[in-house]
Amino acid sequence: MGIGHTRWATHGKPTELNAHPHSSMNAHVVHNGIIENYGELKKEFSENKFLSQTDTEVMVHLFDKFFEETKDSFQAFEKVIESVDGAYAILLITEKDDGKIFFAKKGSPLQIGTEKGEVFFASSDAPLIGLASEAIYLEDNTYGYVTIDEIKVFENGQETTFVKKALATSKFTAQKEGFTFFMEKEIYEQTNVLNDTILGRVDSEKVLFDEIDDDFFVGIEDITICACGTSYHAGLTASYLFGRLAKVKTTVEIASEFRYKDPVLRQNELFVVISQSGETADTLEALKMAKKAGLKTLAICNVDNSSIVRESDATLLTRAGIEKGVASTKAFSAQVTVLWLLALYVGQVKNRISLEDLKKEIKAIGKIKDVTKVDENLRNRIHRLSKRYLHGHGFFFIGRDLFFPLALEGALKLKEISYLHAEGYPSGEMKHGPIALVDSELFTIALMPETLLYDKTRSNVEELSARDSTICAITPTDFDLADDLIKTAKTNHPMLEFFEMMIVVQILSMEISIRLGNDVDMPRNLAKSVTVE
Ligand code: M6R
């Protein structure tokens, strides 16, 4: 029997002392989440009891105290849970009750995997696949204990029932398959992944979603999308698509902001959450708020059975397979693909798109596979160019319309894995402030699609060039003012240009990161899924 937790502490520096498990005389604990009242709780004990700076450690000292009072380990654990506020997935073991693992869940993901003669805990399916055949997805506010023979789940002091669900048996997608990095593999596999994302969801003149009832959009006038990070960028992209293709007003919110702004929620809006992991704490809590307010909810998610999927009224899975690189790539393109399909679907069910336009869009969707295929010449060119972009005092990624969210995403990718300062801007915003930063050491990565507002973007890039910014233009057209030009293939649809340029910015950030000698898959200070706020 053992417990462990591979993440560094949320409080204090990432040192070994602050890493879990934390121990006291009688107990050892691992915890994912934040104990918000730990400062208050700590006051009961003398400061020299604490070895770490974490919020977590207070729980083992509380356990000792309650065990002293009750002489019963389960009662002591229950009292610990009653005392703590915040979000948690907790596992605790004690020498006082050998062979038992105590657990509690609120806000943070926790599930139990079972196999003959073995019991596991994890925060998602991925680590359990191959070890356990069934899983129990614990609900918030449940707690209990397991032994090798029994699983006991409680809520509000009462024992409660649970359901076991079958787990997937294969995890073959989580291998590097000959690539040096997971991120690299995930960039290359997008062409196949996106084919899976689309599979069965279109015919030549219709978008089909088996997961949504025909009347799902009845009464829905507006859409609010809520997400974090890359998923937020996919949401922003979708807001342009929903406006154009379905004539639906769409608001996009960053989940951590949305939660605390006392948002105005109306019954005629659909609340869409986007999340690769399905476990992002802020997105999950925003979803719960929307549900509580009585809104219809839809999740765009990559992980079936995740907390967000379980909480939503309906889900469209992105089918990207397990994404291991912390910097999201294939999950982003799969989210955008599902959202593009969804915009068409809404346009179709609300009769807001002509059959002719719908057919054109579907035809373009059929070409995603081609434009996301990594061309080795392009890769080599980006590899060679990347050596010129390892310094400087910053990067501007700029684009207009659909290419503004892509600029944000490009900048996020670069900063995550290169640790260089990068910002994404709408090209038209330059003269409203950012242009003041421009000199030859400021690198502009200009997204200049031919099919959407080319002339407007071009004149914005000219302004930057006139101030001596080093310009790397990503475009299918020749452009004299570019210091470097990464040429994309010509297409006839802005979304196809979007996907082509997405591949370029993903590879560019990866090549820069490799040259800088960084850990591409596990960048410093970041975690793959952010289950604390
Ligand atoms: O799992 P989620 O999509 O909800 O995660 C949201 C963000 O934490 C995530 O997209 C993050 O920004 C990535 N590291 C970006 O590469």
Residue 524 lies in a domain: no
Three-state DSSP class for 37? coil
How far is residue 259 from each of residues 141, 226, 227, 262, 265, measured CA to CA in Å?
20, 10, 11, 7, 12
Closest residue by Cα to residue 230 from 429, 365, 406, 448: 406
Rounded to whole angstroms, the Cα distance separating 142 from 153 reads 7
Is the pLDDT at 285 greater than 90, yes or no? yes
Q: Where are the alpha helices (DSSP H) in 221-375?
A: 229-246, 255-258, 281-292, 307-311, 330-349, 355-365, 368-371
Q: Mention every residue, 6+ apart, whose C-beta is less than 8 A from residue 186.
A: 323, 324, 325, 329, 330
Segments of 43-149 assigned E as strands: 86-94, 101-106, 111-115, 118-122, 134-137, 142-146
Q: Which pLDDT belongs to residue 181?
A: 95
Percentage of residues of the chain with pLDDT beyond 70: 98
- Backbone dihedral region for residue 33 (phi beyond 0: left; psi -120 to 50: alpha; all else: beta): left
Q: How confident is residue 154, by pLDDT bands cut at 50, 70 and 90?
A: very high
**Distance of CA 54 from the midpoint of ligand 1 (Å):** 24
**Distance of CA 36 from the midpoint of ligand 1 (Å):** 23
Residue 273 lies in a domain: yes
Q: What is the largest CA-CA distance in the chain?
A: 80
Cβ of residue 416 lying under 6 Å from some atom of ligand 1: yes
Residue found under tokens 């397979």: 321
DSSP code, position 48: G
Cβ of residue 229 lying under 6 Å from some atom of ligand 1: yes
> Nearest residue CA, atom 11 of ligand 1?
229
For the CA of 328, the nearest atom of ligand 1 = 16
Ligand 1 pocket check: which of 108, 125, 233, 277 to mutate, most ligand atoms within 8 Å of Cβ? 277
Q: How confident is residue 169, by pLDDT bands cut at 50, 70 and 90?
A: confident
Domain co-membership, 367 together with 378: no
Domain co-membership, 348 together with 495: no
Name the amino acid, one letter, at 362: I
Q: Are 435 and 447 in contact (CB under 8 A)?
A: no
Closest residue by Cα to residue 395 from 407, 382, 383, 378: 407
Domain co-membership, 33 together with 159: yes
The number of domains in the chain is: 3
Domain that holds residue 278: 174-373
Question: Tens digits of per-residue pLDDT, 191-228?
Answer: 999 999 999 999 989 999 999 988 999 999 999 999 99
Distance of CA 347 to the CA centre of its chain: 27
Residue 43 lies in a domain: yes
Domain co-membership, 363 together with 382: no
Residue 83 lies in a domain: yes
Q: Which pLDDT belongs to residue 173?
A: 53
**Of the candidate ranges 125-129, 299-303, 508-512, 514-518, the one whose mean pLDDT is the lowest:** 125-129
CA quadruple 461, 361, 235, 264: dihedral sign? positive
- Domain boundary pick from 317, 348, 373: 373
The enclosing H or E element of 61 equals: helix 58-70
Rounded to whole angstroms, the Cα distance separating 339 from 499 reads 13
Residue 250 lies in a domain: yes
- Domain boundary pick from 114, 136, 166: 166
CATH of residue 262: 3.40.50.10490
Q: Which pLDDT belongs to residue 246?
A: 97
Q: Average the pLDDT over 244-263 and give the result.
A: 96
- Domain boundary pick from 336, 358, 373: 373
Cβ of residue 427 lying under 6 Å from some atom of ligand 1: no
Residue 192 lies in a domain: yes
Q: Are 121 and 88 in contact (CB under 8 A)?
A: no
Q: Average the pLDDT over 294-316 and give the result.
A: 95
Question: Tens digits of per-residue pLDDT, 4-33?
Answer: 987 666 788 888 899 999 999 999 999 999
Ligand 1 pocket check: which of 186, 228, 304, 308 to mutate, most ligand atoms within 8 Å of Cβ? 228
**Distance of CA 229 from the midpoint of ligand 1 (Å):** 5
Domain co-membership, 217 together with 283: yes
Domain co-membership, 276 together with 314: yes
Q: Which pLDDT belongs to residue 9?
A: 64
Is the pLDDT at 172 greater than 60, yes or no? no
Closest residue by Cα to residue 407 from 390, 386, 430, 387: 430
**Distance of CA 46 from the midpoint of ligand 1 (Å):** 39
For the CA of 229, the nearest atom of ligand 1 = 12
Residue 143 lies in a domain: yes
Domain co-membership, 252 together with 162: no
Domain co-membership, 360 together with 504: no
**Distance of CA 483 from the midpoint of ligand 1 (Å):** 32
User: How many helical (H) and strand (E) elements, i.e. helices and strands, does the chain have?
Assistant: 16, 23
Domain co-membership, 186 together with 116: no
Q: Tokens for 29?
A: 């604990």
